[in-house]
Amino acid sequence: MIFHYLNMLIVIQLVIANALLAQPLLNNLPLVKRDDGSSIQYYLRLEEAGKHSDNLLVLLQGSDCNSVSKIKGIDTLRKVYRDADVLTVEKYGITDALPYSAETERADCPDAYIENDCIEQRACDIDRIIRLLRGEWPYRRVILVGGSEGATVAAMLSAKVDYISATVLFGVGGRYFLDDVIHSMAFTISSEEELARSVEGIRQLAQAIHSDAPFDIEMSNHGYKWWHSMFSFDQEATLARINSPVLILQGGNDRSASPAKATEMVNALKKKGKNNIDYIFYPEYDHALHLSDGDDPSGTVIGDINSWLHQKVF
């Protein structure tokens, strides 16, 4: 029962697939390998066939075990800025050969993914691809858009490099992942006694991952590296190192990431003088920035992002 909250950790489906179908896919991209010799699969779709844009929009999906090429959704994120080439990057061990699954725990999740995937690896892979593309086509602006775990990776990358023009983050939650996990548990466990046991159990797990030598663990199609990276990540400290414009979007009915902790973190950053960070709070929206009754407010959200980008970047 401790880990029932994991069903809430399937990230915002960043509506990439349909958004990209309208753009021509660039074939024959250079092969890119990691230091261990494994290949990184990635996709670049041009804003206009045969012509590169001055802008590169990088879309980061969340924590589920799926190919970014198979994530289904409405044609939304592409609209945050239309005049851009769009880059998506697969996670370690995943290719477009993996069929889509909505299951939290899928039996066919690749072993290489479970063993090696973590937020540091994703940030490193995306950085490697962007540097390659900027060497081939000198993009003037690079914009990152990520939700949930994708937001974590986007923030991590923006804090490490100097070429990001703007970063847009969805459903980020608070400073520490553990707080968001505990927040999520409260919506999936009705018994106060059982909730207390589950909270203590996840606290003990986090402590063991911090303190002990690496050990075998697989939950929600994630291994030790992923859990260690998530429990170790200090989101507030990471955001404090970013100097380019950042927009954080948070729903008040988010059951996966704590709205209260997100607001607390942003206020703390503001007190530190981080005036490059803007915050939009949607009281009635959930983790995926949808209304609780299922209505899709994406027009409002995308309009807010588009206006912010034109104000801060373009």
How many other C-beta atoms are found inside a 10 Å radius of the C-beta of residue 203? 13
pLDDT score for 204: 92
> Is residue 12 predicted with pLDDT exceeding 50?
no
Q: Which residue has the higher pLDDT, 73 or 271?
A: 271
Residue 23: strand, helix, or coil: coil
Minimum mean pLDDT among 18-22, 23-27, 92-96, 194-198: which range?
A: 18-22
d(CA 91, CA 71): 13
d(CA 55, CA 47): 9
- Give the pLDDT confidence of 239-288 residue by residue, as tens digits: 999 999 999 999 999 999 999 999 999 999 999 999 999 999 999 998 87
d(CA 314, CA 306): 10
- The residues with which 39 forms a beta bridge, in sequence order, are 33
Q: How confident is the model at residue 16 (pLDDT cuts 50, 70, 90)?
A: very low
Nearest CA among 233, 311, 234, 314 for reference residue 269 = 234
> Is residue 292 predicted with pLDDT exceeding 60?
no
pLDDT score for 231: 94
d(CA 127, CA 116): 17
The pTM of the full predicted model, rounded to 2 decimals, is 0.89
Dig out the tokens for 100 from the structure.
């889509």
Distances (CA, A) of 221 to 40, 176, 289: 20, 21, 25
d(CA 85, CA 103): 31
Compute the mean pLDDT over every residue in the chain, rounded to the nearest whole number.
87
Helix H segments across the chain? 17-21, 111-116, 119-136, 149-160, 177-188, 192-211, 224-232, 235-240, 259-271, 298-312
- Give the pLDDT confidence of 210-229 residue by residue, as tens digits: 887 888 888 889 999 999 99
- Give the pLDDT confidence of 125-165 residue by residue, as tens digits: 999 999 999 999 999 999 999 988 999 999 999 999 999 99
Longest alpha-carbon distance in the chain: 61
